[in-house]
Amino acid sequence: MISDKIRDVLNEQINKEFYSAYLYLSMSAYFAEIGMYGFSKWTKIQSKEEIDHGMILFEYVIDRNSQIRLAQIEPPLFEVKSPLSVFEQIYQHERSITSAIDCVAQMSESDCDLATRNFIDWYLKEQIEEEAMVSRIISKLKAFGEEKSALYLIDRELSHREYNQPVY
Ligand code: OFO
């Protein structure tokens, strides 16, 4: 069993992961609208992974004999200026998710809930990978993204991403 405080923060995190899925899915729609199908595929796959992140938390809360409290998911908000600006917003978003995960880790530690503290390690590592992956795309967009032909090549590269269900 986990404390009510930990139950609530894990439920909040489930909401954040599903919000992330919505955000990436709306970005995927935007990229499809402007004909950038590689960017669209990449963000759609990321959206699926975010649902997986939410579901891993969901199963954990149930396994700990606690309660799921699903809340409303806010509409996804982002500005559509350019692929670079969208990826910069993704980076900021992922940084905010990293801070939220850090808080879960700190709270579980101060609650002497070592099982949750151990569980959340997977998310800490996942956030390092996500921030790095997004920051590499931003660097490429900054270096070459002004040129349409380079953008086309980056779009093609992103179209190679395949969905791999995250394994906890
Ligand atoms: Fe679930 O990692 Fe991104 O948001």
Residue 37: which region, alpha, beta or left (left: phi > 0; alpha: psi -120 to 50)? alpha
- Please list every protein residue whose CB sits less than 6 Å from any atom of ligand 1: 17, 20, 50, 53, 94, 97, 126, 130
Report the nearest-CA residue for atom 1 of ligand 1: 50
Domain locations along the chain: 4-70+80-158
pTM (whole model) above 0.95:
yes
Per-residue pLDDT tens over the stretch 74-122:
999 999 999 999 999 999 999 999 999 999 999 999 999 999 999 999 9
Does residue 124 surpass a pLDDT of 90? yes
| CA 20 to centroid of ligand 1, rounded, Å | 6
In angstroms, rounded to a whole number, what is the distance separating the alpha carbons of residues 39 and 41? 5
- Confidence category of residue 167, pLDDT binned at 50, 70, 90: confident
Provide the pLDDT for residue 146: 82
In angstroms, rounded to a whole number, what is the distance separating the alpha carbons of residues 112 and 146? 51
Report the nearest-CA residue for atom 3 of ligand 1: 94
Burial degree of 64 (CB within 10 A; 0-12, 13-18, 19+): middle
Does residue 142 surpass a pLDDT of 90? yes
Angle at 74 between CA 128 and CA 48, to 5 degrees: 45
CATH architecture of 4-70+80-158: Up-down Bundle (1.20)
Per-residue pLDDT tens over the stretch 20-47:
999 999 999 999 999 999 999 999 999 9
Per the prediction, the chain carries an average pLDDT of 97
